[in-house]
Structure 1
Amino acid sequence: MASSPRKSRKGTDAAPLLVPARALRRRVLRWAVRGVLGVAGFFAVLVLLFSFLNPPVNIYQLQESARVGGLQRDWVAFDNIAPVMGRSAVAAEDANFCLHWGFDMNAIRAAVAEGGSRGASTISQQVVKNVFLWHGRSWLRKAMEGVLTPAVELIWSKERILEVYLNVAEFDEGVFGVQAAAEHYFGVDARSLSALQAARLAAILPDPKARSASNPSNFVRNRTRSIMAGAETIAADGRDGCFR
């Protein structure tokens, strides 16, 4: 008696294998979407909270604290910072601060034209990097900065952005914020800074480890004069209107 033909293993085994593979792909995709939404929600909550709550110590400050053995930092409200300090910081780092939505496209185009030899980061971008992210060059950080900067601009006021910037900026090794910097270099409160002192502090950015506001090099002196002139121009033409 002839035996019945054997069933092909290909026909019986392949189909059951396809089902788990598809299910696995769907599961991975679901978890990936949940992960992205979870990260987005986390940062959305932080952006909202920090619009009125002062950010705690950030990643870079923790790194510097471990390296130098402590930090000098003392948060001060924007109303307790000399107005000339805000104008000096804007003149030094982001002259069109009141005119853009987080990115200065003219500065970016100029940087691209010069082959990337000059920086184009706005004060808003620097706040996002310092408060929410980490230092260092990577595509991931730049991508996250690109997403978070418009969100901060949308929810925070320009005055709040500048207040946070002045309170988290590094002014010397282990010295963060304008209040600690004013005491460290000049022995005064941030509210009492003169135009010269404010310009000196702005002049040491963004390289405070190599520059000094109390013992300025010729470079810092020249940059100070330029910043003082820029701050006066910003006050005269109204480009300080969003934080005046």
Structure 2
Amino acid sequence: MASSPKKSTTSKAGSAKAGPAKSVAAEPEQGWRRRLWFWTKRVLAGFAGLILALTLIYAFVPVPTTLYMIGERIRLGGIERDWVGGDEIAPVMFRSVVAAEDANFCLHWGFDMAAIRDAVDRGANRGASTLSQQTVKNVFLWHGRSWVRKALEAAITPVVELVWTKRRILVVYLNIAEFGEGVFGIEAAAQHYFGVSAAELSPVQAARLAAVLPDPKRWDPAKPTSYLRRRANSIVDGAATIQVDGRASCFEPKAASKD
């Protein structure tokens, strides 16, 4: 009769000891996860803060360089580049790059949903990216295809559209775009290929420069192939069309703020 209570007491004691041991073993793992999440949040918050700060700064200040430019400068030993303001770029160059790359630039808020749906339906890899998205990629991110970059691009683009004017987006784009191997920005491109300043570009010259943007290392605006000539002629017509139908209104000088 007296032995039963002893067994019961021992069993309870054993159970009491097992609980704390299990909890102590789980504590290091939970602590590691909490620290990882804490630092992940801090890194993400820091990155978001940096992007926001740069977006505000670059709304007024020239973009000094980009990750891609740095890589090309190291690879080639140097690059050609000279930043110019919007008033130092021929108006036809603005219209030409929009006609070539993003004809609905003035009509969207950073994403051309109709172009995206069309690209998905056609299974195309190119054609849905707006000039706003391309500018964000060139200024803040890196080249190459990855879901991480596309996600960051999608997150940053609306911020840039909100802070910058449409004209500012084009001014930045034209000053950092690659127009040939080691040739960055519209001023360097105009001087390199045609021996004129960006302000002196003719409609045909502007169209040829815009025509090479999809593959600047492959095509030469000064020595156009028959395909490049046809594409440039189409861009000349497109640039004239968007000027007439109002699709250039958001970046014409009268609509511009300081750039």
Give the TM-score taking structure 1 as reference length. Answer: 0.94
The answer to whether structure 1 residue 173 and structure 2 residue 177 are counterparts is no
Q: Give the whole-Å Cα distance in 1 for the aligned partners of 2:49 and 2:21.
A: 43
Correspondence for 1:31 among 39, 45, 53: 39
Alignment gaps of 5+ in structure 2 = 253-259
Amino acid across the alignment from 1:68:
L
Amino acid across the alignment from 2:24:
P
Amino acid across the alignment from 1:101:
W
Matches within 5 A, 1:33-72: 33-72=41-80
Q: Give the whole-Å Cα distance in 1 for the aligned partners of 2:126 and 2:215.
A: 14
Closer, same or farther: CA 149–15 of 1 in aligned 2, 3 Å = same
Amino acid across the alignment from 2:38:
R
Closer, same or farther: CA 113–14 of 1 in aligned 2, 3 Å = same
Question: How far is the alpha carbon of 1:31 from its aligned partner?
Answer: 2.1
3-state SS, counterpart of residue 107 of structure 2? coil
3-state SS, counterpart of residue 223 of structure 1? helix
Question: How far is the alpha carbon of 1:83 from its aligned partner?
Answer: 0.2
Give the TM-score taking structure 2 as reference length. Answer: 0.89
Question: How far is the alpha carbon of 1:117 from its aligned partner?
Answer: 4.5
The answer to whether structure 1 residue 238 and structure 2 residue 246 are counterparts is yes
Question: How far is the alpha carbon of 1:47 from its aligned partner?
Answer: 1.0
Q: Give the whole-Å Cα distance in 1 for the aligned partners of 2:125 and 2:49.
A: 35
Q: Give the whole-Å Cα distance in 2 for the aligned partners of 1:142 and 1:54.
A: 24
Alignment gaps of 5+ in structure 1 = none
Q: Give the whole-Å Cα distance in 1 for the aligned partners of 2:28 and 2:72.
A: 49
Q: Give the whole-Å Cα distance in 2 for the aligned partners of 1:20 and 1:112.
A: 47
Q: Give the whole-Å Cα distance in 1 for the aligned partners of 2:19 and 2:242.
A: 77
3-state SS, counterpart of residue 221 of structure 2? coil
Q: Give the whole-Å Cα distance in 1 for the aligned partners of 2:71 and 2:200.
A: 30
3-state SS, counterpart of residue 179 of structure 2? strand
Correspondence for 2:102 among 79, 86, 94: 94
Q: Which structure dedicates a bigger proportion of its chain to helix?
A: 2
Question: How far is the alpha carbon of 1:116 from its aligned partner?
Answer: 2.2
Q: Give the whole-Å Cα distance in 2 for the aligned partners of 1:145 and 1:13.
A: 48
Q: Deviations over 1:101-140 (max 9, x none)?
A: 0011111011001012442111100100100000000111
CA RMSD of aligned residues (A): 1.7
3-state SS, counterpart of residue 171 of structure 1? strand
Q: Give the whole-Å Cα distance in 1 for the aligned partners of 2:157 and 2:125.
A: 22
Matches within 5 A, 1:2-21: 5=10, 7-8=13-14, 9-21=17-29
Name the counterpart of 2:223: 215
Q: Give the whole-Å Cα distance in 1 for the aligned partners of 2:203 and 2:37.
A: 56
Comparing 229-238 with 203-212, greater Cα deviation is found at 203-212
3-state SS, counterpart of residue 106 of structure 2? coil
Closer, same or farther: CA 185–37 of 1 in aligned 2, 3 Å = same
Question: How far is the alpha carbon of 1:152 from its aligned partner?
Answer: 0.3
Name the counterpart of 2:83: 75
Max radius of gyration: which structure?
Answer: 2
Q: How many residues align?
A: 243
